[in-house]
């Protein structure tokens, strides 16, 4: 990993008091996060948590027939591996890198040691868990009640909130898997947004041209999720 990537690019780590961060720092290991990397599969015992810095990870539920749908996206605002510190050790979903980049991982033993102190990390991650539950709940509502155009707008805005640029590398097939729809539906929805001048979409590359336009077109679900993250996780809340 190149030197300019720092654990403090992750908002949760940046929000920790200096003494807690310094205690954790020697145990944070940099990890490359290439597109499509699977961090864990359904039912696997989790060995690490991951703090993304400039990548995005999708949590996906996989059906018996192999179809899958995204239930949450996690970027530099959060942590991947809730089951480990919540006591479950495993989870029925899988975690896959949606947008390539970097992260820092922390072993299960170190996470549990820090949690046992009942200190700032525990309180911060419990607030983050509440925010993530809101995202998961709102995703279920959105997929049931809102148009595919609106779902795609929500997904794009949530992804942009977790990236430093307005460019995403994403194939139609991957977007379809994330939203749990057919590729043809993604083609139509992306075409609608492109015709409206909101995005430029070409061979798996999406460039957002008009973010305010996306925000006007998106359903209420995006603002519900954003408001809850902003309410629970002001940066830096603990220093």
The pLDDT of residue 234 is above 80: no
| Domain match, 31 and 91 both | yes
Residue 162 burial (10 A CB sphere; 0-12, 13-18, 19+): buried
| Domain match, 105 and 182 both | no
Identify the three-state secondary structure at position 36: coil
Is position 132 within any domain? no
| Domain match, 58 and 101 both | yes
Q: Return the beta strands (E) in 26-83 as ranges.
A: 29-33, 38-40, 48-52, 56-62, 68-74
* Per-residue model confidence (pLDDT) at position 79: 95
* Per-residue model confidence (pLDDT) at position 2: 46
Q: Are 222 and 157 in contact (CB under 8 A)?
A: yes
Q: Each residue of 156-173: pLDDT tens digit?
A: 898 888 888 888 876 667
Q: Are 157 and 215 in contact (CB under 8 A)?
A: yes
Q: Report the pLDDT averaged over residues 208-236.
A: 87
Is position 231 within any domain? no
Is position 174 within any domain? yes
Q: Report the pLDDT averaged over residues 133-145.
A: 87
- Closest listed residue to residue 179, CA positions, set 198, 199, 153: 153
| Domain match, 171 and 94 both | no
Residue 181 burial (10 A CB sphere; 0-12, 13-18, 19+): middle
Is position 72 within any domain? yes
* Per-residue model confidence (pLDDT) at position 1: 46
Q: Each residue of 67-111: pLDDT tens digit?
A: 777 888 999 999 999 888 777 777 888 999 988 899 999 999 898
Is position 134 within any domain? no
- Closest listed residue to residue 86, CA positions, set 112, 114, 60: 112
The pLDDT of residue 228 is above 60: yes
| CATH number of the domain within which 28 lies | 2.60.120.10
Query: Where is the domain boundary, 83, 103, 118?
Result: 118
Q: What is the mean pLDDT of the chain?
A: 86
Q: Each residue of 36-77: pLDDT tens digit?
A: 899 998 888 889 999 999 999 999 887 777 777 788 899 999
Report the percentage of the chain scoring pLDDT > 70. Answer: 91
**Stronger pLDDT, 83 or 210, i.e. the higher one:** 210
Look at the chain and report how many structural domains it folds into. 2
Tokens of residue 70, six digits: 């995204």
| Domain match, 203 and 169 both | yes
* Segments forming the whole domain that contains residue 158: 142-226
* Per-residue model confidence (pLDDT) at position 179: 67
The pLDDT of residue 186 is above 50: yes
């Amino acid at each position: 990993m190149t030197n300019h990537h720092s654990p403090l690019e992750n908002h949760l780590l940046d929000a920790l008091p200096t003494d807690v961060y310094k205690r954790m720092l020697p145990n944070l290991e940099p990890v490359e996060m290439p597109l499509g990397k699977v961090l864990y599969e359904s039912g696997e015992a989790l060995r690490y948590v991951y703090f993304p810095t400039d990548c995005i990870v999708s949590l996906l539920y996989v059906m018996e027939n192999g179809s899958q749908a995204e239930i949450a996206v996690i970027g530099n605002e959060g942590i991947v591996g809730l089951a480990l510190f919540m006591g479950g050790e495993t989870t029925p979903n899988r975690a896959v890198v949606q947008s390539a980049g970097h992260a820092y991982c922390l072993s299960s033993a170190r996470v549990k040691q820090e949690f046992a102190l009942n200190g700032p990390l525990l309180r911060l991650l419990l607030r983050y868990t509440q925010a993530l539950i809101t995202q998961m709940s709102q995703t279920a509502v959105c997929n049931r009640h809102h148009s595919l155009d609106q779902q795609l707008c929500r997904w794009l805005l949530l992804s942009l909130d977790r990236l430093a640029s307005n460019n995403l590398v994403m194939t139609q097939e991957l977007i379809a898997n994330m939203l749990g729809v057919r590729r043809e539906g993604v083609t139509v929805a992306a075409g609608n947004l492109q015709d409206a001048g909101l995005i430029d979409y070409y061979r798996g590359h999406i460039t957002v041209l008009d973010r305010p336009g996306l925000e006007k077109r998106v359903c209420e679900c995006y603002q519900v999720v954003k408001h809850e993250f902003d309410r629970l996780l002001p940066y830096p809340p603990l220093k």
